[in-house]
Amino acid sequence: MEYDCEKFYAGLVEHQLIIPVGVQGAFGRGAMFEEVVDRFNARVSAIAGRDGAETRSFPPVVNRKVIEKNNYLESFPHLCGAVFSFFGKELEAREMAQKAVLGEAWTGHLGATDLCLTPAICYPLYPTLAGTLPEGGRLFSLLGWAYRHEPSSEPTRMQSFRMREFIRVGKPDDVVAWRDMWLQRGLELLQSLGLDASSDVAADPFFGRGGKMMATNQREQKLKFEILVPVISREQPTAVCSFNFHQDHFGSKWGIRTAAGEVANTACLGFGLERIAMALFKSHGFDTTRWPAQARRQLWP
């Protein structure tokens, strides 16, 4: 298999799988791209079917206080996005609109709202869980749009993308056992679709020099795993699914307690839906009718 990022991007565009919009990593998705995303997501739902996850849905924006309290700015200041809007009156509105028409900078007229863009699908969930969990903890299923400020010509690195996530909240042993089960499930699912998937210990892209220590610590404690598939390069495969064990980080921040009264532990896992679709198009070609029979049987049962 040949890996050529520009050629792959051009192929996605040519086959109307992604639709350029003039800003890197914010492209539209075509009909067949969406169908692959939907059908993969349906496979995940089928596999999770008997687990009894509670469905929740949050908009692509999150209370700014959640970003602040989770210390997101200490770890990922370079990725954050905040929503700015207009708070002025009519005269200033006219001035702002006039600047926009003339191609002048107008965003200086805006001010911060109470909202940020959601950087991780599970972020809005934790504050809603404050209190005591039932015996055995809880399990949630979410699907949402994440924002990360990292414009790139590399198609798998998006500013706005969807994750299908599951979040387990409870006792440490239960949470870790659940994470391990899904690591195996995720590998099996992706391999059964004909993807060259493997798992590895990983670290988040923490910012700056201080971030290096945080990443080392995260790796040493094996708090993050990823499932990787070659999409853009063989040597540096793309993370298409990630598994994060937060220990009691969110439980203590948001006052979540187990039935026994301990601070709850949490873990989440997320399938990067666009990245998995791209991995499938890279591995099996742009024409889904020519995909391997085993992959087709699973996605179009």
Interacting residues with its own copies between 116 and 155 (CB under 8 A): 117, 124-125, 127-128, 145, 147, 149, 151
| Region binding its own copies by CB under 8 A among candidate stretches 49-57, 166-174, 226-234, 292-300 | 49-57
d(CA 94, CA 107): 13
Contacts (CB under 8 A) with its own copies, residues 152-171: 158-161
176 forms part of the interface with its own copies (CB under 8 A)? no
220 forms part of the interface with its own copies (CB under 8 A)? no
50 forms part of the interface with its own copies (CB under 8 A)? no
d(CA 289, CA 273): 20
260 forms part of the interface with its own copies (CB under 8 A)? no
- In the list 7, 14, 28, 233, the residue contacting its own copies (rule: CB under 8 A) is 28
| Region binding its own copies by CB under 8 A among candidate stretches 14-22, 193-201, 253-261, 275-283 | 14-22
CB atoms within 10 A of CB 158: 23
* Nearest one of 21, 27, 32, 47 to 286, comparing CA atoms: 32
57 forms part of the interface with its own copies (CB under 8 A)? yes
Which is nearer to its own copies, 7 or 65 (by Cβ)? Answer: 65
221 forms part of the interface with its own copies (CB under 8 A)? no
Q: For 197, phi and psi rounded to 5 degrees? A: -95, 135
Q: Any long-range contacts for 47-51 (C-beta under 8 Å, 24+ apart)?
A: 47/185, 47/189, 48/141, 48/166, 51/139, 51/166
Number of chain positions touching its own copies (CB under 8 A): 73
Residues 6+ apart with CB under 8 A from 183: 199, 225, 227, 243, 269
- In the list 31, 49, 134, 260, the residue contacting its own copies (rule: CB under 8 A) is 31
Residues 6+ apart with CB under 8 A from 286: 11, 12, 14, 15, 17
10 forms part of the interface with its own copies (CB under 8 A)? no
* Nearest one of 61, 77, 275 to 157, comparing CA atoms: 275
- In the list 36, 115, 121, 195, the residue contacting its own copies (rule: CB under 8 A) is 115
- In the list 9, 36, 44, 81, the residue contacting its own copies (rule: CB under 8 A) is 81
Which is nearer to its own copies, 113 or 192 (by Cβ)? Answer: 113
